[in-house]
Amino acid sequence: MPSLWRNSDQRLPLTGSRFSAHSYQTTVLAIQESNQYQTDFIPFCAQSPLLARIATYTGACLLNRTRQMDTQTMMSTKGRAIQMLNKMLAEQSTRPSDEAISGVITFVSTDICHDETQHLRIHFEGLREMIRLRGGLQCLGMDGLLAKLAAISDFIASITLELPPLLEERADVHLPRSTSPLQPSPLAYNTPLVPSPATFTKFARPLGLQETTASILDDVQFLVDRVLDLPVDSPPWELQKLLSMSDWVYNRVSAGGPAHPSRGGPRRAQGPLHRSVEMAALITCHAIRSRQPFSRACSRQDVVELLQNVQCVPLETWRGLLGVLMWVLVAVVPAAHGMDQAFHSKSMLMVATLQIGLGDWDVTHCALRRAVRLQGWLAGGDASDVGEAGERSEVEAGSHAASNP
């Protein structure tokens, strides 16, 4: 068969018959329909010696995690990929190509998921400079896909490390606002991170939710919105009102189901979906009423039990609740950092966020920004965001359309 690689001397040393990367199909959260990632990005990677080399490093990281490859071999694989990337960057110092930018994004995403974060800021600063040389995120290729991949990696790193996003620090970096046709139903993107007239209680049946589960989601959605609506330098009485509200929601959730595992109490039999939502709600309420970051409000025991429940929910179920899954993982990922569960939790968050972004970027961007704003408030800052008001109104307008077919 013809070589997959443009130059035969750059072929990867794959054993046996060469791996037909161009025919490889992947599914995101058990979704079989093709999407932009499958139709554009994977074939693009398959035809790029650089991206194929970086893919071998990504695979080596997983093999090392499962003890099927030693660390020295993995680092050697990484070194060869970095050498190849640096050579390309040296040749494209004034206008980095989509291929080079894709390589850096893939490196960054891999390092985030595998907790290799010691050089993350340096890598993001390099990526930001590459994007600046191209004229901004909106000037990247693949109809905005590369911009989405870069932004999602930035936000996931921000959420994981509880730091401000790096790619959005400068005003000259803008995200694309265009959206593709919604698929699956917009209801699947409904999340407690973004207010919506399409309440979980109203659409509990089509979403496959128990009434108690839907009620918890609506309560958390309302509470998060109140936090993010707080003005800068809120008076003490307003903060006290918010804390009282978080206490009320916490007690309401606790009374309606099993108690928080870190705080004792009997546990009633419930499905893993309800337990996932309930635990994430209690963690969120506890973080707000104690005003401490998720990394401190969520215990190691919470991380283990919550992610066990998340993994017991069928992927097909999460497919219809992608926005809920995003919120659940936002509450647990910071505390999972450095634990054995970090890889799976961050990988799930990355994939779920990308899947929503492929369907409706405005919803994704708004949810991620609000998650970062919530983290900033929990850490003692304010929750203001000058760029979110218009974006939120557009998202709510889309939700109105979804709730009134």
Instruction: Report CA-CA distances (Å) from 75 to 55, 58, 104, 301, 321.
Output: 13, 11, 17, 32, 37
* Residues 237 and 341 grouped into a single domain: yes
Contact 246, 226 (CB under 8 A): no
End-to-end CA, the chain:
50
Q: How many independent structural domains does the chain possess?
A: 2
| Sign of torsion over alpha carbons 19, 20, 21, 27 | negative
Q: Where are the beta strands (DSSP E) in 31-162?
A: none
154 with 229, same domain: the answer is no
In a domain, 269, yes or no: yes
Closest of 320, 317, 329, 383 to residue 190, by C-alpha: 320
Q: Over the stretch 97-118, which tens digit does the pLDDT of each residue have?
A: 999 999 999 999 988 888 777 7
Residue 19 has pLDDT above 70, yes or no: no
* Co-location of 25 and 67 in the same domain: yes
Beta carbons within 8 Å of 140's beta carbon, 6+ residues apart? 98, 101, 131, 134, 146, 147, 150
Same structural domain, 156 and 203: no
Of the two residues 168 and 67, the one the predictor is more confident about is 67
- pLDDT > 70 in the chain, percent: 78
210 and 323 fall within a common domain: yes
Q: Which pLDDT band holds residue 396 (cuts at 50, 70, 90)? A: low
Mean pLDDT of 169-177: 46
Distance of CA 157 to the CA centre of its chain: 9
What residues make up the domain containing 21?
8-161
Residues 195 and 156 in one domain: no
Of 210, 162, 217, whose CA–CA distance to 327 is shortest? 217
**One domain for residues 130 and 193:** no
Residue 168 domain flag: no
pLDDT tens sequence across 280-338? 999 999 999 999 999 999 999 999 999 999 999 999 999 999 999 999 999 999 999 88
394 and 317 fall within a common domain = yes
pTM tops 0.75: yes
Domain identity same for 155 and 235: no
The first and second tokens of residue 20, run together, are 């037909």
| Residue at 283 is within a domain | yes
Task: List Cα–Cα distances, 350 to 97, 117, 239, 346, 356, in angstroms.
Answer: 24, 16, 33, 6, 10
Does 194 fall in a domain? yes
Q: pLDDT tier at 166 (50, 70, 90 boundaries)?
A: confident
